[in-house]
Amino acid sequence: MKIELSKAKSDYEIILLEKDEIKTAADFKDFDFYDYKGEGLLNLSEKRRIYSAIKKRDFNAIANAAAAAIRAISKLKIKSARLCFDFKSECELKAAAQGILLGAYSYEKYKSDKKPKNLEKVLIDTNLKGAEQILANCEILSESVNFVRDIVNEIPAIYTPERMAKDALDLAKNSKVLKCEVLGESELKKEKMNAMLAVANASPHEPKLIHLSYKPKGAKLKVCFVGKGVTYDTGGLSLKPSDYMLSMKADKSGAAAALGIIKAASELGIALEIHSVLGCVENAIGSKAYKPDDVLIAKNGVSIEVRNTDAEGRLVLADSLAWAQENIKPDFIIDLATLTGACVVGVGEYTSAIMGNNYELQSDFYKAAKTSGEFFSILEFNEHLAEHIKSDIADVSNAANTRYGGALTAGLFLDKFIKDEYKDKWLHLDIAGPAFVSKAWGLNPAGGSGAGVRACVAFLESLGSK
């Protein structure tokens, strides 16, 4: 699907409409005839026109209205549609473009009866300054989000750590500006990444630490993303009940997002040095599985008492974060992970959580994320919660001894692997809620959503313009 700035004729019209515009819209002169109150969709197929109401003039309302319309006409035999709206700002144009490009996504690889993809392009006519560039950038960003959705949706039999390494290497091969290196089991052993290795132990799939880098000339800041890439989370010996295991193919969403972010940033030509470090393992069961009661010595020397093998993401991130600090020395280090069910309980399935030690940085990220269409909420650490991850026999326990505050105790666990000089430069993003959508909402169909990509790119853009 393409979006074009054009005045040409189209096969169909999508009209975004504010509630008070109904009275003046051409088709509503004879208002009694159409019992449409300006909510949701009204498809007038005989006029080749669909109305989609926007509740208010903000990013998500416009994006969602555009997404709903594009989905409603996606089965029609039309090649082009025109999106009609009087765009008053860059934000409104971005919203409509992303609504179209992200709303049109569907994952049908495993369906025999695939929907025909007739609609090739959506035309937009606007006098807004820089519209061409805005649309081109929306295409880059949306393609990256859809690339991440494809990865998250792929099944665990196919999407292994090896496969993620292949996708990362291919991404670098097809780009002039990205570089990629992959560390396998023997290298991880040399690097003493025992926490990550323990999680991978029962799986037939070799763990991989994947490092992508983008170093444009003149970059003044270095930003590193670290992603949790658990290609499947059975829970390990602390086995998940079947209802909870379902959808755990999405436990690679943090790593997938880190891949999507660096893809988008490099194609957008953002003038910052960017690194993505992906910690990829499968958390399986078997005779070689790591166990509750094991003690692991992580890369940074911190000893970890394993009390629950289902709290595996923090073990993978512990070593990946340590590796990134040592090898990359970034100005900002941001991890993304589907880390806790507690986060979903706390802030709901639509919102990601921001944690860290630097309130200003959290707040800067929050403000940038707010312009991206994604929902975020800041959760605050405190020293009382930190008491709950103390261990009797090791430096820290991987599972808290309380039922409460699980998103924060997981964040505080990660903090043990952040060196003093990075405390103020680190953000932890728990994307467990929105990364995988069980029932379509907004511009997300059911399945992988690409959570984190738009927010992190918006944050990078905000850093670039400082």
Q: Assess 344 for contact with ligand BES (CB under 6 A).
A: yes
Contacting residue, 308, 357, 358, 391, with ligand BES by CB under 6 A: 308
Binding at 152: pick from ligand BES, Zn ion, none (beta carbon under 5-8 Å per type): none
- As measured in angstroms, the least distance from the Cβ of 58 to Zn ion is 34
Between CA 127 and CA 130 the distance in angstroms is 9
Contacting residue, 135, 399, 429, 455, with ligand BES by CB under 6 A: 399
Binding at 344: pick from Zn ion, ligand BES, none (beta carbon under 5-8 Å per type): ligand BES
CB 140 within 8 A of CB 23: no
Q: Assess 358 for contact with ligand BES (CB under 6 A).
A: no
**DSSP secondary structure, 4-27, as one string:** EE-----SEEEEEEEGGGGGGSGG
Helix (H) or strand (E) holding 150: helix 131-153
* Residues with catalytic function: 240, 314
Residue type, 223: V
CB 272 within 8 A of CB 219: yes
When the beta carbons of 116 and 241 are compared against Zn ion, the nearer one is: 241
Tell me whether residue 339 is exposed, middle or buried, using C-beta atoms within 10 angstroms of its C-beta: 0 to 12, 13 to 18, 19 or more.
buried
The contact pattern for ligand BES, residues 425-444, with x = CB under 6 A and - = no contact, is -------x------------
Between CA 452 and CA 429 the distance in angstroms is 8
395 is in an annotated binding site: no
**DSSP secondary structure, 348-369, as one string:** -TTEEEEEES-HHHHHHHHHHH
273 is in an annotated binding site: no
Whole-angstrom CA distances from 126 to 7, 70, 153, 435 are 9, 19, 35, 33
Task: Using CB under 5 A, list all residues that contact Zn ion.
Answer: 230, 233, 251, 310, 312-313
> How many other CB atoms sit within 10 Å of the CB of residue 29?
10
Number of residues counted as binding ligand BES (CB under 6 A) = 16
**DSSP secondary structure, 80-96, as one string:** EEEEE----SHHHHHHH
- As measured in angstroms, the least distance from the Cβ of 339 to Zn ion is 7
When the beta carbons of 310 and 374 are compared against Zn ion, the nearer one is: 310
Q: Assess 310 for contact with ligand BES (CB under 6 A).
A: yes
Collapsing DSSP to helix, strand or coil, 286 comes out as coil
When the beta carbons of 49 and 228 are compared against ligand BES, the nearer one is: 228
When the beta carbons of 52 and 238 are compared against ligand BES, the nearer one is: 238
**Residue 109 DSSP code:** T
Part of the chain binding ligand BES (CB under 6 A), chosen from 77-85, 93-101, 307-315, 441-449 = 307-315
Contacting residue, 313, 405, 434, 442, with ligand BES by CB under 6 A: 313
Helix (H) or strand (E) holding 260: helix 253-268
Annotated binding site for Mn(2+): 228, 233, 251, 310, 312
Interacting residues with ligand BES (CB under 6 A): 233, 251, 308, 310-313, 338-342, 344, 399, 406, 432
